[in-house]
């Protein structure tokens, strides 16, 4: 057991030490504020505080984990071997910065609680993040720091062993519009055809005609082919389906359509399934609750998985709403416009609500690649960056999670290109 001496066990200390030392490094963790118990412990132990007591392994605190609420703290950045860190402390500390305050700052998305200007569609701009500004957005720094910290621990306690994690993947498919032309209803189909005609979008007009008269497969109906390809290459998908009312931002087929309900249930035979909330549900609890009820009535089981694809996190309200509905896992922690680790980690972790200083049971699975960012990069750029990111994640035994959309596979060239990339990313 790794015993940690602290003066006061705060929720932030409990949360961060268990994530870094238990979830990432695999140690059983215990806390004590009794010096005699700490001295008598014969196994691995560290002290965390303002002053070193003797010759123990010591990490000097920066103070963030003893605070409540949020303040606009001035951060100073410096290099630690091949990565960047912050919350630098004195030379008395065996680690040159407060690794736990820095980890908490990123995991809790502390900076997103601070005043900031949202972008044109209401998102927290990734260019405002410290990860982007200081060049570590594409590194899982929390995990990298943890592994470096573990190396120092093992030098001091060579007889102690941590559990080595295995590199893994999660592939998530967001289905906001199950079909491009089919199952939209007569009124919507006629209206869309008239619009295409007057806009002189002849290609779309002809394609709709072919699909509706069964002369061509709907371009968004990629499910059977995706399952077949994935099975051949031995990887699986999580499927998130939208069940919103029709609106300006939600163009899906009706959740009442038998064909759509059959599709949702059939995908449950090939992977885990969950809910993709509509735009309105991300901001209104009653709408989210209604969509959850629809999902459960179709699938006949409790909703456990959820995720947002197009829209940003409304922190902390959105996660608190997920929590109220007893949803277990979320796949929303990403930036829509760029690759990278929004929370600085490639490990699953519990959501922490800074407003109430509360550890939630909601598990967040961070996404490094949200396919919304495809339009901002060339395929070569994406492939090159993802290859490097995969190497970083593999070195710390983390999880490489990607979030795609069924529209990403709507033609053969795109389908083969991205399936080849996904296959490579899933190789162990």
10-45 confidence digits (pLDDT tens): 999 999 999 999 999 999 999 999 999 999 999 999
| pTM (two decimals) | 0.95
Mean pLDDT of the chain, nearest integer: 93
- pLDDT above 90 coverage of the chain, percent: 77
In this prediction, residue 153 carries a pLDDT of: 96
Residue 161 domain-assigned? Answer: no
Residues in the chain: 428
Examine the domain organization and report whether 202 and 348 are in the same domain: no
Please determine, for residue 202, whether its predicted confidence score (pLDDT) is greater than 80: no
Please determine, for residue 120, whether its predicted confidence score (pLDDT) is greater than 80: no
Examine the domain organization and report whether 249 and 368 are in the same domain: yes
What count of other Cβ atoms lies within 10 Å of the Cβ of residue 29? 17
Kindly report which listed range (128-142, 185-199, 283-297, 343-357) carries the lowest average pLDDT score: 185-199
Examine the domain organization and report whether 205 and 312 are in the same domain: no
The torsion angle over the Cα atoms of residues 389, 394, 396 and 397, rounded to 10 degrees, is: 130
Give me the number of domains the chain comprises: 3
Please compute the mean of the pLDDT values over residues 238-242 and round it to a whole number.
98
Please determine, for residue 52, whether its predicted confidence score (pLDDT) is greater than 60: yes
Contact indicator for 406, 239 with CB cutoff of 8 Å: no
Q: Tokens 């001035």 sit at which residue?
A: 74
Domain hosting 303: range is 168-180+219-426
Q: What is the DSSP string of 204-226?
A: HHHHHHHHHTTSS--TT--HHHH
Give the span between the Cα atoms of 182 and 300, in whole angstroms.
Answer: 25
In this prediction, residue 201 carries a pLDDT of: 73
Residue 83 domain-assigned? Answer: yes
Residues 77-102 have pLDDT tens digits of 999 998 999 999 999 999 999 999 99
Cα separation values, 364 from 184, 264, 352, Å:
34, 23, 10
SS3 58: strand
Give the span between the Cα atoms of 203 and 346, in whole angstroms.
Answer: 42
Residue 162 domain-assigned? Answer: no
In this prediction, residue 308 carries a pLDDT of: 94
In this prediction, residue 224 carries a pLDDT of: 92
Residue 249 domain-assigned? Answer: yes
Examine the domain organization and report whether 392 and 416 are in the same domain: yes
Examine the domain organization and report whether 25 and 99 are in the same domain: yes
């Amino acid at each position: 057991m790794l015993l940690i001496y602290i003066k006061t066990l705060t929720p932030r200390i409990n949360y961060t030490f268990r994530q870094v030392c238990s979830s990432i490094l695999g140690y059983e963790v215990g806390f004590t504020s009794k010096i005699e118990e700490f001295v008598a412990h014969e196994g691995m132990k560290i002290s965390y505080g303002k002053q070193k007591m003797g010759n123990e392994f010591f990490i000097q605190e920066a103070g963030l984990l003893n605070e409540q609420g949020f303040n606009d703290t001035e951060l100073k950045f410096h290099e630690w071997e091949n990565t960047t860190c912050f919350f630098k402390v004195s030379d008395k500390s065996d680690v040159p910065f407060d690794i736990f305050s820095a980890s908490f700052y990123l995991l809790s998305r502390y900076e997103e609680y601070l005043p900031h200007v949202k972008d044109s569609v209401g998102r927290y701009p990734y260019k405002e993040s410290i990860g982007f500004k200081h060049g570590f957005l594409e590194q899982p720094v929390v995990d990298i720091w943890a592994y470096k910290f573990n190396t120092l621990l093992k030098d001091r306690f060579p007889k102690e062993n941590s559990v080595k994690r295995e590199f893994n993947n999660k592939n998530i498919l967001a289905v906001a519009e199950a079909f491009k032309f089919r199952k939209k209803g007569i009124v919507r189909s006629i209206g869309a055809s008239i619009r295409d005609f007057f806009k002189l979008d002849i290609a779309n007009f002809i394609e709709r005609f072919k699909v509706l008269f069964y002369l061509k497969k709907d371009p968004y109906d990629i499910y059977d082919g995706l399952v077949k390809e994935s099975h051949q290459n031995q990887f699986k998908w999580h499927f998130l389906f939208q069940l919103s009312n029709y609106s300006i931002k939600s163009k899906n087929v009706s959740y009442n359509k038998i064909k759509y309900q059959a599709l949702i249930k059939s995908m449950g035979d090939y992977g885990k399934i969950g809910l993709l909330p509509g735009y309105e549900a991300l901001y209104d609890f009653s709408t989210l609750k209604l969509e959850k009820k629809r999902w459960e009535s179709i699938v006949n089981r409790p909703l456990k998985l959820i995720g947002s694809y197009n829209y940003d996190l409304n922190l902390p309200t959105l996660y608190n709403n997920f929590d109220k509905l007893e949803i277990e896992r979320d796949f929303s922690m990403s930036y829509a416009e760029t690759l990278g680790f929004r929370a600085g980690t490639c490990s699953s972790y519990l959501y922490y609500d800074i407003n109430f200083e509360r550890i939630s049971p909601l598990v967040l699975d961070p996404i490094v690649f949200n396919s919304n960012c495809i339009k901002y990069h060339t395929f070569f750029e994406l492939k090159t960056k993802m290859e490097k990111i995969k190497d970083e994640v593999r070195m710390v035994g983390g999880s490489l999670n990607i979030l795609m959309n069924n529209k990403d596979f709507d033609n053969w060239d795109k389908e083969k290109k991205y399936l080849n990339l996904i296959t490579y990313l899933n190789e162990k």
